[in-house]
Amino acid sequence: MDLIIQPLLRSLETGSVYALAALGIIIVMRTSLVMHFAQGSMGMFAGSAVAFTFNRYGVPLLTSILVGAAVAIFLGFFVDFAIIRRLKRATAVGKEIITLGLIMVFLGLAPIVFGTDPMNLPRIIPRGDVALGSASISYNGILNIAIGVFIALGLFLILQKTKVGLAVRATASNESTAKLMGIPTRNVTLMAWAVAGLLGMLAAVMIAPTTMVTPTYMTAVQVSALFACVLGGFQTFYGPVIAAYIIATCSNFLKLYASSAWGDQLMYLLILLFLLFRPNGLFGKTYMKKV
Amino acid sequence: MSKNSRITMLNLGSIMKNSHVHYIIFGLVLCLFPMMTSAGGMKNSTLSTLAFVLIFSIVALGLNLLLGYSGLISLGTAGFMGLGSYIAAYVQDDLGLGFWVAVLLAIAIPTLIGLLVGIISLRVSGIYLAIATLCIAEILAKTFEQAEWFTHGTAGKQSKYPTIFGMPMDRSSMFVVCAIVLVLVMMLTYNIVNGQLGRALHAMRSSEVAAQAMGVNVLKYKLFAFSVATLYAGLAGGLYLFFLRSSYPSTWNLFLSLNLIAMVVVGGLRSILGTVAGAFVIFAFPELVLKKLPVIGDASGLPYVFSGVMIILVIMFFPQGLKGLADLGVTTIKTVFSRKKVTS
């Protein structure tokens, strides 16, 4: 039994990380119409800021996370305000290349600002395990799963039930019409970038204890989150989140039962093949292009 | 082709207007650099940097065809390049089949893989190619680390200079080989862009739907552009190996792919000489200039920041890139001169 429950629990934990990163990508994608390739590296930068304040200044972890959140929100605001907003005339590809450029900027800035040494970031709850039959999960793991699930559910509630959510959905559906209806679409995209930054920072803090904080430590998360968006389809907000958990589960089971070194790579191939049969993802809809 | 039809007049002026002649002259100028090095006028390390500029220019030209004409992004270019380099090393050193077979396979195998990826991902909307190539790059990067028999893992694959037409190569002659290949690739790209294929690509660029209505098979031409991009990447990977005589998995990461995109964007979309200039700015400028600056020169992330900021600035303020800058310069000079004529 523990050969099924144990990896399942671990999948829920990593799935939460992927889900948060994917949510950030999809919110930006739907409101600014940009494929946000820099989600991982912006999360990395904010996560490095957390590790830096924690290690260098001995600030308590939760306070460091607040500092990281401030950095993430500022970066989100800055990127939208200074760059993305001024790109109304650029093509979709141009915007995507801008986010690729952002990857390089943050990747290069991180060692300059925070130093070249890899940093450690401990768990939020340092120790303690819960036994579930023959399997076990740490308190921190439960916290990570809870953060992932509650933030995803909370965002869906906000999107579906509140006025702000309605504004976001209207902007996502058609920006110029939304603007004509009096929705401040500029503020909506500004907020979307800040929320994406926050989600990226959370994902970065949650994955950090399993590895070291280096400039490239979020690459795997970024790739998985992008794949979650592809697998879940870009049309809905919930699709990528569900797909993130599916991807984490597949990856863990493939690593356990197929090959520990090649698990992720096998999964990437499977997703590529899946796209052959359902090009718009699990929850995607096909729209006819109007000429 | 209206420019080319004037060549029939066979005077020197019209020959000088032929782009192929420009490329050959450019290649001849490049061949002066190894001579300068042996005469002591240039450091060996500078020559190596320039050789890498030539090699990256080849890849960037293919990427420019893909990005400039079909608006597609490939994030796996470095992976395909790395595959080319390892195949070249494996075929030349482990199988002992010589230079030509090595180059041929270094071109053929990445192109085949690229075709497969393209067929799968191009049927869906454009952005899937970026994600699919990203995934292929991740798979290839893992292969480079794990497949010890093929790549020697993280220890790196060592190779030696090839023998071409019975001549053993060294650093200077490999530089000349790189220059010759670059000129050939520039000519080939020029012919592709200005031929029937190019007209279809141009039509596709202005409006995919309109091109489709005119009978252009959009999928076929996108696939073509992507195959050319992977073909150039494989070729350049082989050249990289033969010049450097070693290949490490850490070279072929996402950031090389991003740097190659930066070269295309900074050089100017759909410009052949611009791409080479872009490769120089993105690769050689940080190596030759930024590293020598006081205080900030030592920072390890500086070249990345430079490339990233260049991409963002060019797209925001100067979408034509260096090509646009050159055109602007030429028109300004022309207007200044014509104004002088009027006044005199």
pLDDT digits over B230-263, tens only?
999 999 999 999 999 888 988 898 889 999 999 9
Q: How far off is chain A from B7, nearest CA to CA, in Å?
A: 37
B261 touches chain A (CB under 8 A): yes
Cβ within 8 Å of residue B108, ≥6 positions away: B234
- What is the C-alpha separation between A239 and B41, in angstroms, rounded? 61
Assess if residue A183 is contained within a domain: yes
DSSP structural state of residue B283: I
pLDDT per residue as tens digits for the range B183-241: 999 999 999 988 888 888 888 887 888 888 888 888 888 899 999 999 999 999 999 99
B137 neighbors B75 (Cβ within 8 angstroms): yes
Assess if residue A281 is contained within a domain: no
B128 touches chain A (CB under 8 A): yes
In the prediction, which pLDDT does A2 show? 66
Assess if residue A162 is contained within a domain: yes
B42 touches chain A (CB under 8 A): no
Assess if residue A36 is contained within a domain: yes
Tell me if the pTM is above 0.95: no
Residue type, B126: G
Nearest to A262 among B120, B142, B305 (CB): B142
Contact A275 B121 (CB under 8 A): yes
Number of Cβ pairs closer than 8 Å across A and B? Answer: 133
Average pLDDT over residues B286-298: 74
- Can you say whether residue B343 is alpha, beta or left, with left for phi > 0 and alpha for psi between -120 and 50 degrees? alpha
With beta carbons under 8 A apart, name residues in chain B contacting A272. Answer: 117, 120-121, 132, 135
Assess if residue A47 is contained within a domain: yes
Q: How far off is chain B from A133, nearest CA to CA, in Å?
A: 36
Q: Any idea what the Cα angle at residue B165 is, between residues B159 and B167, rounded to 5°?
A: 65
pLDDT per residue as tens digits for the range B307-333: 999 999 998 888 888 888 888 888 888
Contact A275 B258 (CB under 8 A): no
pLDDT along chain A (291 residues), means of 10: 78 92 92 88 94 89 92 94 83 86 92 86 79 78 90 91 90 86 89 94 91 86 90 87 92 84 83 79 67 53
Stated as kind and residue range, the H or E segment containing A187 is helix A185-207
With beta carbons under 8 A apart, name residues in chain A contacting B286. Answer: none
User: Pairing mode, if any, of strands B157-158 and B246-247?
Assistant: antiparallel
How many structural domains compose chain A? 1
Structure tokens at A68: 């990281």
Cβ within 8 Å of residue B136, ≥6 positions away: B76, B79, B113, B117
CB atoms within 10 A of CB A81: 14
CA dihedral of B123, B124, B130, B132, whole degrees rounded to 10:
-70
Mutate to test the interface with B, among A36, A80, A100, A112 (most CBs of B within 10 A): A100
Q: How far off is chain A from B204, nearest CA to CA, in Å?
A: 14
Contact A108 B131 (CB under 8 A): no
Contact A265 B139 (CB under 8 A): yes
Contact B315 A291 (CB under 8 A): no
Contact A272 B300 (CB under 8 A): no
Nearest to A105 among B121, B308, B316 (CB): B308
Contact A226 B262 (CB under 8 A): no
Q: Of A171, A187, A141, whose CA–CA distance to A10 is shortest?
A: A141
State in Å, rounded, how far the first CA of chain A is from the last one.
56
With beta carbons under 8 A apart, name residues in chain A contacting B300. Answer: 111-112, 116
A18 neighbors A224 (Cβ within 8 angstroms): yes
A221 neighbors A19 (Cβ within 8 angstroms): no
Assess if residue A46 is contained within a domain: yes
- What is the C-alpha separation between A267 and A281, in angstroms, rounded? 15
Range of the domain at A163: 20-214
B270 neighbors B321 (Cβ within 8 angstroms): no
State in Å, rounded, how far the first CA of chain B is from the last one.
36
Q: Any idea what the Cα angle at residue B251 is, between residues B81 and A224, rounded to 5°?
A: 85
- The domains located in chain B, with CATH, are 2-343 (1.10.3470)
A159 neighbors A1 (Cβ within 8 angstroms): no
Cβ within 8 Å of residue A115, ≥6 positions away: A52
